[in-house]
């Protein structure tokens, strides 16, 4: 069954950077293909590298909607203004968090700091970042600590309000564009398909080269600074499910944060853990507007597996953010 619209990129950074990293990683894979094949012959088949190369070519030759449709190149003045407000608001929050918890990168990342560079010019990305920041700042212990450094409850409410304002402005803009959206979704699908090849190799390398740090680095998908906790966001239509493969070994993390973004009455999602993307989870954790954010252990979502599955059991489309908590 084909993925429903809209699609989200499952990687951070620019498309060009992702494709370059995949091109380099594929060469490293070719140098170690026999090792990967002996580790998991069902995944790393004889034609895995060839399929990876074909995905690379498809991703590099795909046309994005922003290239094909001139009306998609420029934001409206309203969206530009709302994006600028959003950037200033989260930058002020990051500054306050830095004061409240000095030199605590993990805490900053809970507020979305590690997403900022990739999301600062993305409408959907910034909406999600504002939602993550609002969720973190709303936690009672955090709210008390932030208040000591001048961050008020009204500031936290502004995070939510700014997300709503940006959503409204962006929805209006998209309805005015009217062309190129389908092509753009196909383009993103091609980029995601390429990324998944490297994602599988990266995951396998963590076991294959557990005692060889230099070799693991050849298949590392994390940003160079090394402080980016892995996260993904999935948009799922009612009655459907989607899965995403995590490269961070889930049994080794402190926990996972599950967030139902921009909840509305009638929204409901379930999150579970499985070994294969098309499996149905035996255990799930529910997300509803009244409990939109959950911090859980990987074991709470199922006994094993690197895939997380989001199933929409409500009446409206949902966007769910899945984030690793390293500490």
**What's the CATH number where 284 sits?**
2.60.120
266 and 289, same structural domain?
Answer: yes
Q: Both tokens of residue 240?
A: 């459907």
81 and 57, same structural domain?
Answer: no
pLDDT tier at 304 (50, 70, 90 boundaries)? confident
188 and 60, same structural domain?
Answer: yes
pLDDT tier at 75 (50, 70, 90 boundaries)? low
65 and 188, same structural domain?
Answer: yes
- Residue 203, pLDDT score: 84
CB 272 within 8 A of CB 290: no
Fill in the DSSP letter of residue 288. Answer: B
- Residue 235, pLDDT score: 86
* Whether the predicted pLDDT of 225 surpasses 80: no
- Residue 172, pLDDT score: 56
* Whether the predicted pLDDT of 61 surpasses 90: no
How would you class 103 by CB atoms within 10 Å of its CB: exposed for 0-12, middle for 13-18, buried for 19 or more? exposed
Q: Between the CA of residue 42 and those of 18, 48, 143, what are the distances in Å? A: 25, 10, 49
User: Which has more pLDDT, 74 or 33?
Assistant: 33
pLDDT tier at 48 (50, 70, 90 boundaries)? very high
86 and 163, same structural domain?
Answer: yes
Compute the Cα dihedral for 6, 10, 14, 18 and give only its sign: negative
Give the chain's largest Cα–Cα span.
59
Fill in the DSSP letter of residue 19. Answer: H
pLDDT tier at 2 (50, 70, 90 boundaries)? very low
250 and 210, same structural domain?
Answer: no
Domain that holds residue 282: 229-327
CA dist., res. 15 & res. 105, Å (int) = 26
15 and 61, same structural domain?
Answer: yes
How many structural domains are present in the chain?
3
- Residue 30, pLDDT score: 94
CA dist., res. 17 & res. 23, Å (int) = 10
Secondary structure (3-state) at 40: coil
pLDDT tier at 185 (50, 70, 90 boundaries)? low
Secondary structure (3-state) at 178: coil
Q: What is the mean pLDDT of the chain?
A: 83
How would you class 41 by CB atoms within 10 Å of its CB: exposed for 0-12, middle for 13-18, buried for 19 or more? exposed
- Residue 12, pLDDT score: 67
CA dist., res. 208 & res. 185, Å (int) = 35
202 and 237, same structural domain?
Answer: no
For range 303-312, the mean pLDDT: 92
Token pair 């076991």 is found at: 207
Q: Which of 194, 221, 248 is the endpoint of a domain?
A: 221
pLDDT digits (tens, 9 = 90+) for 4-15: 445 667 776 667
Q: Both tokens of residue 118?
A: 């990739």
- Residue 253, pLDDT score: 82
Q: Which of 221, 253, 277 is the endpoint of a domain?
A: 221
pLDDT digits (tens, 9 = 90+) for 116-150: 888 888 877 888 889 889 989 999 999 999 999 99
pLDDT tier at 92 (50, 70, 90 boundaries)? very high
- Residue 300, pLDDT score: 92
For range 230-254, the mean pLDDT: 86
283 and 256, same structural domain?
Answer: yes
pLDDT digits (tens, 9 = 90+) for 160-179: 899 888 877 765 555 444 44
273 and 291, same structural domain?
Answer: yes
For range 239-249, the mean pLDDT: 88
- Residue 10, pLDDT score: 75
């Amino acid at each position: 069954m084909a993925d429903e619209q809209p699609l989200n990129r499952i990687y951070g950074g620019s498309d060009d950077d992702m494709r370059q990293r995949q091109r380099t990683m594929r060469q490293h894979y070719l140098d170690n293909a026999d090792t990967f094949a002996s580790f998991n012959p069902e995944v790393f088949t004889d034609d895995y590298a060839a399929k990876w190369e074909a995905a690379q070519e498809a991703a590099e030759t795909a046309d994005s909607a922003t290239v094909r449709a001139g009306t998609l190149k420029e934001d409206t003045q309203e969206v530009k203004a709302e994006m600028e407000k959003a950037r200033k608001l989260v930058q002020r929050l990051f500054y306050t968090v830095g004061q409240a918890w000095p030199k605590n990168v993990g805490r900053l990342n809970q507020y979305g700091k590690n997403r900022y560079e990739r999301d600062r010019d993305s409408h959907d990305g910034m909406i999600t970042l504002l939602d993550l920041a609002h969720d973190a700042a709303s936690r009672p212990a955090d709210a008390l600590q932030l208040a000591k450094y001048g961050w008020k409850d009204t500031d936290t409410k502004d995070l939510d309000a700014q997300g709503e304002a940006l959503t409204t402005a962006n929805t209006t803009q998209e309805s005015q564009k009217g062309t190129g959206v389908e092509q753009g979704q196909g383009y993103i699908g091609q980029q995601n398909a390429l990324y998944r090849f490297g994602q599988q190799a990266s995951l396998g390398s963590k076991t294959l080269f557990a005692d060889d740090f230099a070799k693991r680095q050849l298949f590392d998908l994390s940003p160079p600074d090394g402080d980016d906790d892995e996260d993904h966001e999935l948009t799922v239509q009612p009655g459907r499910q989607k899965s995403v493969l995590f490269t961070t070994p889930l049994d080794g993390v402190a926990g996972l944060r599950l967030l139902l973004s921009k909840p509305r009455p009638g929204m409901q999602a379930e999150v579970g853990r499985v070994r294969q993307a098309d499996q149905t989870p035996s255990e799930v954790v529910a997300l509803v507007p009244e409990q939109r954010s959950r911090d859980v252990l990987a074991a709470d979502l199922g006994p094993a597996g690197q895939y997380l599955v989001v199933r929409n059991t409500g009446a409206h489309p949902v966007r769910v953010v899945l984030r690793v908590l390293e500490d």
